[in-house]
Structure 1
Amino acid sequence: FLIPKDSPDVERIRAAIRSAYEANKEGLFKGKPLSSPKLWNPLRDGSEVLEEFPERKEYEGCYFVKAASKTQPKAFDTDKQEILDLDEVYSGCYCRGVIVCFPFNNKLAGFGFYLNSVMKMRDGERLGGFEATADDYDEVEDLL
C-alpha cells in the first residue's frame, strides 16, 4: 500500500504497531525499545525507494507498507459487493485495506501486517508487472 504522508491512516498504522509492541515488549522483544533498529518497522518512507529507484515517482510524498495473506483476501467494490473477477484489483488501483498488525521474532524481530480484505475505490495506472496470457506458451508446442 502507498499511503500519502498526510493521511490519517499513517497514525492508525503507527498505533497498531505501538499496540503490538506494548503487548509483546517484555516477552517477545525482551525489552528492546520500539525505536530500536533491531525491530523491523513495516511502515517505510517512500524516499527510501526513490533513492534507489528515482523513476518510481509514485512513492513521492508517501509511506508504504506491505500486507500479505496466505489465502486470497476478499475484494469489494464501493457498494460493498464482492469483486469476483480479481483481474479488476491490481497493483496501481486505489484501494482501502483491512490490515492487522502482528509481531514476530524469529531470525529477525519486528512487525508485519496481514491483509484481510480490500475495497477497490477506483482504477489507477498499473504499477509494473505484466499481464499473463495463454500466448506466453506459444513456444511450448516446439518442445512437444
Structure 2
Amino acid sequence: MSRLVIKNVRLSYANVWEPKPMQGDPDGKKRYSASLIISKDDTKTIKAIQRAIEEAKTEGKSKLANKNGVIPKNIKLPLRDGDEDRPEDEAYTGRMFLNANASADHAPKIVDRSVEPILDRAEVYSGCYANVSVTFFAFNTQGNVGIGCGLGNIQKIRDGEHLTGERSAEEDFEDLGGDDDDDFLS
C-alpha cells in the first residue's frame, strides 16, 4: 500500500462521522467516505498522487495483471477529472478529485490545526478544507480491477463555503442581544 498525505483539499460528500451504506454496493457494507477535490493548478500534489498510484500498481501487480502477466491499460483509477466526470457541479470545475473510503471499523481520526480532536460534527463538512491521509491499493473483486483510495485521517485547516447549500445560524440571523420581548411585536 502506498500512503500519502494530501494537503489543502476541499472535502465534498463528506461522510466522515458515521459509516453509511455505499451506493451501488451489492453487500450494503457501511463505509466512511469523502470526495477530495484538488485544484488542477496544484501540479505538485497531482504528480505525487500519480506516483503513489503507480507504486500501488507495482505492489499489486499480482492482483491487477491479466493471464499474460500484463496490467491492462483500462483498469479503474482513483484520480479523476472533475471537468469530465462532474461537469454539472461547479465545485469540480477546474479540479481533479479522488473518492476515498474506509471500512466501518476504521473511522478516520479528525483533528484541528493543532492536531487536537474535533468533537463538534458541524466543524468538518462538505466544503471545508483539510489535509487528508490516504492509501492507494490494488483490488480485483467481482470483475472490477483497479487501484482504490483508502481514507485515513483528516486535519481540518480552514472553513469554506458549504457545498450542500447549508447555512449557519450566524449567516441567517443577527445577534439581537438580551431578552427583549419587543422583537416579537412586529
In structure 2, the gaps of 5 or more residues are 1-35, 168-186
Percent identity reads 36
How much has 1:65 moved relative to structure 2? 0.2
Instruction: Please list, as runs of the form range in 1=range in 2, the aligned pairs for 1:1-144 lying within 5 A after superposition.
Output: 1-7=36-42, 8-25=44-61, 27-30=62-65, 31-33=69-71, 36-37=73-74, 39-51=75-87, 53=88, 56-70=89-103, 71-106=106-141, 107-128=143-164
Contact 2:83 2:93 (8 Å CA) reproduced: yes
Tell me, yes or no, if the aligned pair for 2:134 and 2:151 is still in contact at 8 Å: yes
**Partner in structure 2 of residue 142 of structure 1:** none
> Could you say which residue in structure 2 is the equivalent of 1:136?
none
- TM-score by length of structure 1 reads 0.79
Which of the pair is proportionally richer in helix? 1
Letter paired with 1:16: A
Partner Cα distance (1:24, 1:49) in 2: 26
Q: Distance in 2 between matches of 1:68 and 1:9?
A: 19
Q: Matches of 2:39 and 2:166 in 1, distance apart?
A: 25
Q: 1:93 to 1:24 in 2, by over 3 A?
A: same
For residues 129 and 121 of structure 2, the distance between their equivalents in structure 1, rounded to whole angstroms, comes to: 14
Say what the alpha-carbon RMSD is for the aligned residues. Answer: 1.9
TM-score under structure 2 length normalisation: 0.62
What is the identity, as a one-letter code, of the residue corresponding to 1:73? P
Deviation at 1:124, TM superposition (A): 0.8
Instruction: Please give the alpha-carbon distance, in whole angstroms, between the structure 1 residues aligned to 2:165 and 2:137.
Output: 28
Q: Which has the higher strand share?
A: 2
